Structure 1
Amino acid sequence: MKPAMEKWVAGGVAVLVAGLLVAGVLSLDRPVHAAAVAVRVPAPAGIADLRQPGVMHARVVFAGGCFWGVQGVFQHVKGVESAVSGYIGGSAADARYARVGTGTTGHAEAVQVTYDPAQVGYAQLLQVFFSVVHDPTQLDRQGPDRGSQYRSAVYADDAAQRAATLAYIDQLQRSGVFAAPVVTRVDGGKRFYPAEEYHQDYLVLHPDAPYIRINDLPKIEALKRQYPALYRDRPRRVATLSVR
C-alpha cells in the first residue's frame, strides 16, 4: 500500500463505521477499536519517585500506533507541558511521513512528552500509556494501522525511566490483566525528529474526522473516565512550536 494512503484507506473504513453509527447499528458506547485499549491496569508498584531536586522538566518518547491519538491523549494529561508528534528510531534523512509510512526506515510514529515531575509522576504516565493510549499486546500494529512504524515502544534516555518501564512491564505480565503478552520495546539513545506541521495537534484540529472519531476520541473519554484526577479538559497544544 502506498504510505501516504494508509490512513486514508483506514479513514475510508472509518467512514463506513461512521455510517453504521448514524444508522444506529453501532454505538460509541462500544467503540470499535478503543475497547481494546480502555483497560484498567494496576498502578505501578515499587517504582521510586523519579523527581530530582531542581529538575523542572523531564522527557520521554512514547510510540503506540498513529501519533495523532497518542499526542491527543497526553495533551489532556495534567502536568504535561508539551506532546509533539514525530519519528524515532531511524535516520534524519528518513524522518518524513512518506518515507516512514513504508515501514522500512526503522522509524516509529511517536510522541515526545515533556512534563513537570512535580505535577505528574513518570509512573502515572506509564499507567496512562499502557491503558488508554494503546494496546501494548499488538505487535507492529494498532487498531486499523499495520507496520513496524506503529510498534509499541518507550524511548527513555534516563536510566531510572528505563528501569521503571521494564519493572512495570514485568508487573503487567505477571498481573494477567492482558490476555496476551506485552510486546512493548524499551529503548534509548535515539534521536527524536518532530513530524511535519500538519500532523501537530491533529486530533484537536480535526475532531470530526472519521478516523479520529472512531479510533482516538474514545481514548480521550477513557482518560477522563479512568483518571479524572489527571484529566485536563483544555489540551496543551503544540501551537507555535517550531516544527517542519
Structure 2
Amino acid sequence: MTRRWFALLPLAAALLAGCGVSGPAAADGVVRLPDPRLDPPPAQPGEQVAVFAGGCFWGVEAVFDHVRGVRRAWSGYAGGAADTATYEQVSDGDTGHAESVKVIYDPRQVSYGQLLKVFFAVAHDPTQRNRQGPDVGSQYRSVIFYATPQQQRVADAYIAQLTAAHAFAAPIVTQVTPLQGFYTAEAYHQNYAAQHPDSPYIVYNDAPKVAHLKQWLPALYRTPTQTVDVQLQ
C-alpha cells in the first residue's frame, strides 16, 4: 500500500501516527519507560549495527539521526529477499519486507538497550500490528531485527520487562527476528524528514517523534551535524 495520506490527513493529525503518544504517560504528559535491566556491552569492540522496523522509515530514521552515539542511519528494507527490495514492490505488502532503519552506533556513547528504549518510547507504537497510524500493511509492522544472539537476549528481556510492568495499555506486538539482510532504500528516501521538514506527512507524523525524543529523553538527544551517506556497503 502506497502512502495515500492525503485522504487520511485528519486521522494522522489526530493520532500523530506512531509518535509514541499511546505509551505510558505521567500527569505532565511525559512517556516514561524503565531502562533495560539486561544491557551488557557488546562482545566485540567498535561500532555496532542495530536494525529496527516501526512504520514509515522516514520517521524512524529521523529519530535515530538525533540519538547521541549514532554515527549513521539509513532507510531500507529487511525481512524479505534482495530481488524484491524496491519501494514499489515493498509497498504492495506481500514481499515479506518491512520498512526498516539500519543504525550504526558507538556503544561507548549509547547502548543497545538505550536504542531499544528510544525505539519503544518515541520511534513508534509497539502495540499496533501491521500498521502505524495512517500507514497500513505488513511492511509497517514492528520488528527488532537482531544482528547477534546478545541483541536477541536484550530485546526479548526488555519486551518481557515492559510487559510485566504494564508499560503499555495494549499488548506489545513487536517481533524479534534474526537479521538476514538489509537493503538500502532508494536515495530519495534517505534523510527524508530533514530534507522535507514542511511536508504535511512529516509535520503530522514524524516531527513530533523527534520533539518527544528531545523532551522525554534529553540525555540521549543531539542535533545532527553530519550529512548521512546513502551509500551502504
With normalisation by structure 1, the TM-score equals 0.86
2:113 alignment partner, one of 123, 126, 138? 123
In angstroms, what is the RMSD of aligned CA positions? 2.1
- The Cα offsets for residues 46-67 of structure 1, whole Å up to 9 and x where unpaired, read as x1422346x1110011000000
Q: Match of 1:135?
A: 125
Matched, 1:206 2:196: yes
Is contact 1:51-1:118 (8 Å) kept? no
The CA distance in 1 between the partners of 2:15 and 2:94, in whole Å, is 31
Q: Which residue pairs with 2:26 in the alignment?
A: none
2:163 aligned residue: 173
CA distance in 2, matches of 1:82, 1:220: 16
Cα 1:101–1:128 change in 2 (3 A) is: same
In the alignment of these two chains, the number of paired residues is 225
Mapped pair 1:32 → 2:16: yes
Note the 1:224-235 alignment, pairs <5 A.
Answer: 224-234=214-224
Q: Is 1:49 paired with 2:49?
A: no
Tell me how far apart the structure 2 counterparts of residues 236 and 107 of structure 1 sit (CA, whole Å). 28
Q: Which runs of 5+ in 1 are unaligned?
A: 19-25
Equivalence for 2:95: 105
Larger radius of gyration: 1
Percent of pairs with identical residues = 48
Gaps of 5+ in 2: 24-29
- Residue matched to 1:91: 81
**Contact kept? 2:15, 2:133, Cα under 8 Å:** no
Q: Note if contact 1:75-1:237 (Cα within 8 Å) is conserved in structure 2.
A: no
TM-score after normalising by structure 2? 0.90
| Cα separation, 1, equivalents of 2:204 and 2:106 | 31
Q: Does structure 2 conserve the Cα–Cα contact (< 8 Å) formed by 1:76 and 1:235?
A: no
- How far the C-alpha of 1:182 sits from its partner, in A, is 0.4
Partner of 1:74: 64
Which residue in 2 is equivalent to 1:21?
none
Per-residue deviation, 1:241 = 3.1
